[in-house]
Structure 1
Amino acid sequence: MAGRTGERGTPPAGAGRAAEAFPGFAELAGGVLGKAVPLYLSMAAGVAGVLAAAAALGHAGTSSLAAYALTAAVFNPVLMAVQGALRGSMPFIAEAGGGELGPVVRDAAWLALSAGALGGLLVTAAPELAAAAGAAEAAAGAFGALPLLMGCALLAASLQSCATTLLVALGRSREAMRTGLVGTGLSVALVLALVPGAGPLPVLGTAGAGAGMLLGSAAAAATGHLLLRRAVAEEGGGSGPGRPDWRAVLRIARVGLPLGTTMLIKFGVLGLLVMAAAGAGAAEAAAHQITASLAGFAFLPATAAGQAAVPFMARAAAARGPRAARRPLLAGAAVALPAVALTAAATAAAAGPLLGALTPDPRVQGLVLSLLPLLLLLVLADAAQALPGMGLIAVKRTSPTLYSFALCYGALAAAAFPLAAAGGLAWLWTAFTAATAGLVAGQAAGFLRATGLR
């Protein structure tokens, strides 16, 4: 695809870009900001959907919110692992051209379908996994059809992730943003209508949340693949369905395996934190879920800026050696860290009225407010570790990220249940913040080591 251009007429990544004049710091920061904004809007919409579900279920009852949190504790790490594996398709898309695009799209879709189906089965077992962890009592029988519906939603979300990953690889971030907005908009509308039974609709509770997520993900998957087919057709290829080439599917999976494993470790341990909080009580489970959602929202600028900075770092490394990736990383940090600090401060300032919308339970509200100082520290540390992590992706050295997460989050997983039992959410979130600070050191050291040689 040597002749393909990305957004705003920029040429594709590769040898041609490596020969371009290296931009200055201000130009780098402006470029990162311009690419990050559409990604941020899509991510913010997704977090808004999570908060809408939490708000609807919080008003339906603390046990309903606990059931949702426990199911999400399985859903999120599985989906993140699938998304990490699907990122292995990006270099194949970058290398393909014209008629070669269709087979890559087809094989990535089969990987998403296979991994999504297996992951969906695991999500349906959320009540049993919660019981094994000693956390099912907090849900008080409120699971209902939620695990089955969210298992189906995971399959649809895997197909959606396939489409958005490939759209980003083709330089179509606006189409990826539209895909996310379609799914989130429909999901939020349905959750807010189905959970409380708006108008003539029956009260569905947790089943309504699951149904809303399923239908929203299915709509986003359909939209994304339609936009993807159009984009591939414009590149001279075809993306119609066909029989899989399982050897090609496995090649994609092998490239994405380190990232998928890191995602699984991260979100698997975050799921354990939910279960550890639930072991302390239903109010603790609900408060943990709300605080984690607020932290996720405040962290979004770092994720968006980090992903936007990856092409700049990769091109710099290809042109001038790995050490040249450091300046684009600093430009990404100059965009991300102030934005994260402002978002976190605004979130903390608005916590009072926001909590009234999320839950009527005063105990849950009090627990969340008590965690706000730790939330601010954690989000800033998480942003600081994310940027060098993205830099390691850019220079194709992802093993340090895997080792850092395995060490820091492994220790957090081992300590989570004893700490929650002994000191509740305060001790649990202190350990969470300390583990994230450890990631800052590990990721930074890994990036400096990987970029130390020309």
Structure 2
Amino acid sequence: METEPPPPRRAGTPASLGGTVRELGAKAFPLYFSMLASMAGGMVTAGVIGNVATADLAAFALLITVFNPLLMVVQGALRGSMPFVAECVDDPAALAPVVRDSTWLALLAGAAGGVVLGLTPLWARAIGVAAPTLAALGVLPAALAGLALLASSVKASVTVLLVGLGRNRTVLALSLVNTATAVTLTPLLVLGAGPVPGLGLTGAALALCLDNCAMAALYLYVSRRGTPLRGHRVGLGAPDRSGVAEIARVGLPTGSTLLVKFGSLSLLGLVVARIGTEEAAAHQLLAVIAGFVFIPAIAVGQSSVPFAARAAGQGSVAGVRRAVTAGYLVAVPVVTASLVLLWALAGPAVGVFTPDPAVRETVVALLPLLSAVVVADAAQSLPGMGLLGIRQARYSLYTFAVCYGLLCLAAVPVAALGGLAGVWAAYAVANTGLVAGQAAAFHRRSALV
């Protein structure tokens, strides 16, 4: 009896776990290095801004405190286009409207966030921001920051497109150019050089705006010339409300999840600040170190979304689950190796961040808890990205709302009973809950593709 041959496998969808691991690793590492480049650029910028007047520094910190969460929500919403992009990788005609809808979502969300930033002088006064900070802020820096957010949203839409298409090396190249531009413009406009006067806060906001606007233009050029869209008209035209809404439906839960996560971590920071100065400093260093070690999981998770999306488009439950399994096999060893290296070099590594021996000892003593937090965070992020790949990201939001909601409720009494160690133990427990919740949700929803 003859059997029907299996349907041909789509390009870019490896048939075996080993093939998926190899291809996913090749996609993830350029994205990982692009994230490191962006973080390095941000650290240089922060160092430059630290040399301006205190009031200017406080005003810029206020703008960035609003800028970053707004951009995070926009980026999360735009990730909703990634499954659609991945399914159209071989069909430029179908890809063009997806890109157009994603661009419209970036413009609409970025403009809304830009208005919030532009109105900072008004709402900052209403919430009681100190008078010297308000005087330094002014209208122009806030308006420039708003324009920067709009441009950065457009950049984010192109980044999602490139990752969805598997063009992660292009993302790395663009990130390096972006970082080089930022570290050149910021010192020049903030501190001045030669005939160029230092502009302080206005210079920082202007550098942020010019960098993001120039990079948005470059990103758009690359998206039209260095992808399958080359030779195909994308345009902008009137927005397709249903297309924009569909991307937002998939992506907004991801943006909301990020907001829940980092809002909760901000609350933990406030709770720890009530314990003492040494504990607050140690907590901040632990958070920075955890962020660095967690980056590989983010890069691998984002890179795995197209694999899961393409498998879901083919109705392959095994393919969807293979993408997440491959993500574990790529990310967990890198995260584990990073933690082992951190433990081996704990003293000198922590000493880079602080000269205070008491803070250093506290951080080193809490490395076991930090490791538990990071490993659990990495483990939960991969099925979470799998849910995004199959367009079910709202289940990640539900899981985060429960686990981090309980963490926020427990933070104050735990800090009173166990101090900084208690807070980080509770953080590890919350992340462990995320592992169980995300894995269960992914297992249930992936069975329905």
- Tell me the equivalent position of 2:74: 82
State the alpha-carbon separation in 2 of the partners of residues 451 and 345 from structure 1.
33
> Which residue, out of 15, 31, 34, partners 1:23?
15
Q: Say yes or no: does 1:50 pair with 2:42.
A: yes
Partner of 1:4: none
Greater CA drift, 112-121 or 63-72: 63-72
Instruction: Report which stretch shifted further, 352-361 or 76-85.
Output: 352-361
Taking structure 1 as reference, are residues 227 and 282 closer, same or farther at Cα in structure 2, changes over 3 Å only?
Answer: farther
Contact 2:224 2:230 in 1 (8 A): no
Change (3 A) 1:316 1:238: closer
Of the three residues 295, 299, 320, the one matched with 2:294 is 299
Structure 1 residues 288, 117: CA separation in 2 closer, same or farther (over 3 Å shift)?
farther
The answer to whether structure 1 residue 395 and structure 2 residue 390 are counterparts is yes
Q: CA 1:98–1:323 in 2, change beyond 3 Å: closer, same or farther?
A: closer
Partner of 2:108: 114
What is the correspondence of 1:182-201 to structure 2 with a 5 Å cutoff?
Answer: 182-191=177-186
Q: Which stretch has the larger CA shift, 424-433 or 253-262?
A: 424-433
Match of 1:17, SS?
coil
Distance 1:105 1:202 in 2: 41
Deviation at 1:309, TM superposition (A): 2.6
1:441 aligns with 2:436: yes
Map Cα deviations across residues 265-318 of structure 1 (whole Å, 9 max, x no partner): 223333444555566688776665554333222111111222223333444555
Match of 1:12 in 2: none
Cα distance in 1, alignment partners of residues 285 and 439 from structure 2: 30
For these two proteins, the number of residue pairs brought into alignment is 438
Partners of 1:359 and 1:453 in 2: CA distance: 50
The Cα of 1:87 is off from its aligned counterpart by: 2.2
Amino acid at match of 2:77: A
Match of 2:253 in 1: 258
CA contact (8 A) 2:56 2:136 kept: no
Query: Match for 2:371 among 354, 376, 383?
Result: 376
Equivalent AA in structure 2 for residue 180 of structure 1: S
- For residues 401 and 362 of structure 2, what CA distance do their matches in structure 1 show? 29
Note the residue ranges of structure 1 that are not aligned, 5 or more in a row: 1-14
Question: CA–CA distance in 1 between the matches of 2:279 and 2:135?
Answer: 18
**1:131–1:360 distance in 2 versus 1, CA, 3 Å:** farther
Contact 1:182 1:219 in 2 (8 A): no
- 1:73–1:274 CA contact under 8 A, matched in 2: no
In the TM superposition, residue 61 of structure 1 has moved relative to its aligned partner by: 9.2
Give the structure 2 partner of residue 9 of structure 1.
none
Structure 2: any 5+ residue segments left out of the alignment? 1-6
Instruction: Report if aligned partners of 1:56, 1:192 keep a CA contact under 8 Å in 2.
Output: yes
SS in 2 for 1:239: coil
CA contact (8 A) 2:250 2:391 kept: no
Letter in structure 2 aligned against 1:308: S
1:3 aligns with: none
1:270 to 242, 265, 270: 265
Cα separation, 2, equivalents of 1:71 and 1:31 = 40
Contact kept? 1:124, 1:147, Cα under 8 Å: yes
The question of whether the paired residues in 1 share the 8 Å contact of 2:251 and 2:393 is answered with no
Partner Cα distance (1:362, 1:203) in 2: 36
Which moves more between the two structures, 407-416 or 277-286? Answer: 277-286
Post-superposition shift, 1:187? 1.8
How many Å separate the matches in 1 of 2:437 and 2:113? Answer: 30
**In 1, Cα distance between equivalents of 2:365 and 2:371:** 12
CA distance in structure 2 between the partners assigned to 1:63 and 1:282 by the alignment: 22
Computing the radius of gyration from Cα coordinates, the structure with the larger value is: 2
Q: Which residue of 2 aligns with 1:173?
A: 168
Contact map agreement 1:278 1:284 (CA 8 A) in 2: yes
Indicate if the aligned counterparts of 1:232 and 1:238 stay in contact, CA closer than 8 A.
no
Q: How much is the aligned-residue C-alpha RMSD, in angstroms? A: 4.2
Give percent identity, aligned residues only: 47
Alignment CA distance shift 1:450-1:114 (3 Å): closer
Letter in 2 for 1:188: V
